Amino acid sequence: MKRKKSGLWLFAVVLSLVLAVGSAWAQETIKVGVVGPRTGSAAATGKAFEEGIKLGTDYVNAKGGVLGKKLEIVFEDTAGAPDKAASGFERLVTRDKVVMVLGESVSSSALAEIEVADRFKVPFIVVEAWADPITAKGYKYVFRAGPCNSGVVSETIAKWVVAEKFKRAFIVAETSDWGLGIAELSKSALTKAGVQFEAMTTERESKDHYTELNKIKAFDPDVVLAYIYGSGLHYFVAQAGEVKLTPKAIILDGAGPPSLWPDFWKNVGDYGNLECFVSSMHEKVELTKLATEYREAYQKAFGTPPTDYKSRSIFDSILIAADAINRAGSTDADKLVDALEKTSLLVTRGTVKFGTEKGGTEYHQWMPPMLVIQWQNKEQVVLYPPEAATGKLMR
């Protein structure tokens, strides 16, 4: 009896599918996709992205949009998971027919996405995924307007460790493309600088770090380079205080945003004091007029000053994309790549210029300047680089 209807059912399914096909609307806007984690453990970054997207589209459309049309951003949640990232990216390209994709903050996701970008030949500007191979693979359609691991380590973290005269360091890294990659780079940089160190890996989702922290404490480091993203970092910092690893040792949050998330202080309590983190944004260190405009626009739109610098990073990338589309005069992928390669645009973090020499991380890479900031009595004090410093390291 059941199988008698099966033909009918399947026919209905097939029919409904065929009907669903004819859904190509006339384009009145130019669509650009943004990928980022809006759910999962890195979801806070997606929220920052959404804020940046709102400000970015308003900014671009207020200045006349792109190619005479309005710029429309389609956001796709990648949930911090590479598989969702790849399928989400593909969906943007095949379903939403976006001309370009921006975003991503999770390296492993970005590494999956660049394969799709390459397969479908869609320009992709990575914003906040730091793993070196993203650009080092040398894909024609892949750009990065944001930090890369090697840049952050060699320009900022290693130099800061040397400048502060730390003698012993401990590297804790989550097992992700970002964490493992930046840990390796840190090891070789510290070796070169003659700083003694030990290293271990941890899980991003891990909540109980007591055992690990006591192992670290036994090494008696001056500084702990913590490459843990998400709330895992909060547990790490709070428990480091409980086992009295800090304040003798200084913790550096090697990613940044988790130390700026709204609940940081609630989760870490007083143990958050003196913690250091990497960031590209500080109120008193605004390199361009646009950066100040951005802060004011953000304050106006959301009622608070911006905290997570990743909202500004995506804002910048929207400006870069709009600029490239306008200069290319078309949405053709190859023309867009040409235009992107010739980019010279002032954004909030400085002037964007992509490297064009193949064969390394520098290819299609623009590295914004990064800061090391310390929480001193809940005030952000810039420690590094020296020309931007607003104070000294407190211990």
Partner 1 sequence: MTDRRFFVILFVAVGLLSLLPLGLGVYHLHVMIVSLFYVMMASSWNLLAGYTGQVSFAHAAFAGIGAYTSGILAAKFGLNPWIGVFIGTILAALIGLGMGILCLRMGGIYLSLTTLGFSEILRIVITNEYEITRGTMGLQVPGLVADYSKPAYFYIMLGGAMLTLIVLYKLIYSDIGLNFRAVQNDERAAASLGVDVVRMRVLAFTVSSALAGMAGGLYGHYLLLITPEIPSLDQQFLVLSMTVIGGMGSFLGPIIGAISLEIFSEYIRAYGEYHVLVFGLVALVVARFAPNGLMGLAEHRLRGRRKASRTVSAAAG
Partner 2 sequence: MFALAGMNGLVIGAIYALAALGVSLVVGIMNVINFAHGELYILAGYFSYLFANAFGMNFALAMTLAVALVFLFGLLIEYTLIRPTYGNDMYSLILTFILSIVLQNAYLLIFGPYPNKPPNWVGGSTLILGSFYYGNQRLAALIAGSAVITLVFLVIKKTWFGRIIRATSQDREMAELNGVNTKRLNMLSFGLGCALAAAAGVILAPIFPVTPTAGVPVALTAFVVVVLGGMGSLWGCVIGGLIIGLVENFGAAYISTAYKQVFSFIILILVLLSRPSGLFGRREA
Q: Give CA–CA dist 152/149, Å, rounded.
A: 5
User: Which listed residue (63, 95, 207, 248) binds partner 1 by CB under 8 A?
Assistant: 95
Angle value at C-alpha 174, between 173 and 176, nearest 5 degrees: 120
The entry of partner 2, partner 1, none near residue 95 (CB within 5 to 8 angstroms by kind) is: partner 1
Distance of closest approach, residue 79 Cβ to partner 1, in angstroms: 9
Q: Is 84 in the site for partner 1 (CB under 8 A)?
A: yes
Residue 137: half-sphere exposure toward Cβ, Cα within 13 Å: 17
| Distance separating alpha carbons of residues 366 and 382, to the nearest angstrom | 22
- Of the two residues 32 and 35, which places its CB atom closer to partner 2 in the complex? 35
Length of the chain, please? 395
Q: Is 51 in the site for partner 1 (CB under 8 A)?
A: no
- Closest separation in Å from C-beta 45 to partner 1: 14
Q: Tell me the C-alpha to C-alpha distance, in Å, between residue 193 and each of 42, 165, 183, 285.
A: 33, 10, 15, 28
First to last CA, the chain: 78
The distance of closest approach from Cβ of residue 378 to partner 2 in the complex, given in angstroms and rounded to an integer, is: 17
What's the count of helices (H) and strands (E) in the chain, helices before strands?
A: 14, 15
Q: Which of residues 148-187 bind partner 1 (CB under 8 A)?
A: 175-177, 180
Q: How far is the CB of 244 from partner 2 (least distance, A)?
A: 5
Least distance CB 77 / partner 1 (angstroms): 6
337 binds partner 1 (CB under 8 A): no
Nearer to partner 1, 124 or 366 (CB): 124
- Of 202 and 331, the one with the shorter C-beta distance to partner 2 is 202
> What φ, ψ does residue 363 adopt, rounded to 5°?
-60, 125
Residues 293 and 364: their CA atoms lie apart, in Å, by: 27
Contact flags string 231-250 toward partner 1, x per CB under 8 A:
--------------------
Question: Max alpha carbon distance in the chain (Å)?
Answer: 81
Picked from partner 1, partner 2, none, the partner binding residue 18 (CB below 5 to 8 A depending on kind) is: partner 1
CB 7 to partner 1: min, Å: 5
Q: Smaller CB distance to partner 1: residue 38 or 364?
A: 38
Residue 231's binding partner out of partner 2, partner 1, none, with CB under 5 to 8 Å set by partner kind = partner 2
Three-state DSSP at 78 gives: coil
The item of partner 2, partner 1, none sharing an interface with residue 202, based on CB under 5 to 8 Å by kind, is partner 2
108 binds, among partner 2, partner 1, none (CB under 5 to 8 A by kind): partner 1
The verdict on 5 binding partner 1 (CB under 8 A) reads: yes
Binding site for partner 2 (CB under 8 A): 39-41, 43-44, 47, 201-203, 206-208, 210-212, 214-215, 231, 234-235, 239, 242-244, 261-263, 266-267, 269-270
- C-alpha distances (whole Å) from 47 to each of 40, 56, 69, 215, 257 are 12, 14, 26, 35, 12
- Closest to partner 2 by CB, 28 vs 270, is 270
Q: CA distances (Å), 46 to each of 253, 266, 310, 343, in order? A: 19, 21, 9, 26
At closest approach, how far in Å is the CB of 153 from partner 2?
A: 24
> 83-92 — which CB contacts under 8 Å span 24+ positions?
83/112, 84/109, 85/35, 85/109, 85/110, 85/112, 85/113, 86/112, 86/113, 86/115, 86/116, 88/35, 89/33, 89/35, 89/113, 89/116, 89/117, 89/124, 90/116, 90/120, 92/33, 92/35
Residue 75 is a binding residue for partner 1 (CB under 8 A): yes
Told to check if 203 binds partner 1 by CB under 8 A, we report yes
Calpha distance 216→210 (Å, rounded): 10
The single-letter DSSP state of residue 363 is: B
| 20 near partner 1 (CB under 8 A) | yes
Nearest distance from residue 179's CB to partner 2, in Å? 13
Q: Which residue has the tokens 């709009």?
A: 322
CA 164 remoteness from chain centre: 26
Least CB distance to partner 1 at residue 250 (A): 28
Binding site for partner 1 (CB under 8 A): 1-7, 9-11, 13-14, 16-18, 20-21, 38-39, 75, 77, 81-84, 86-87, 90-91, 94-95, 107-108, 111-112, 115, 119, 175-177, 180, 203-204
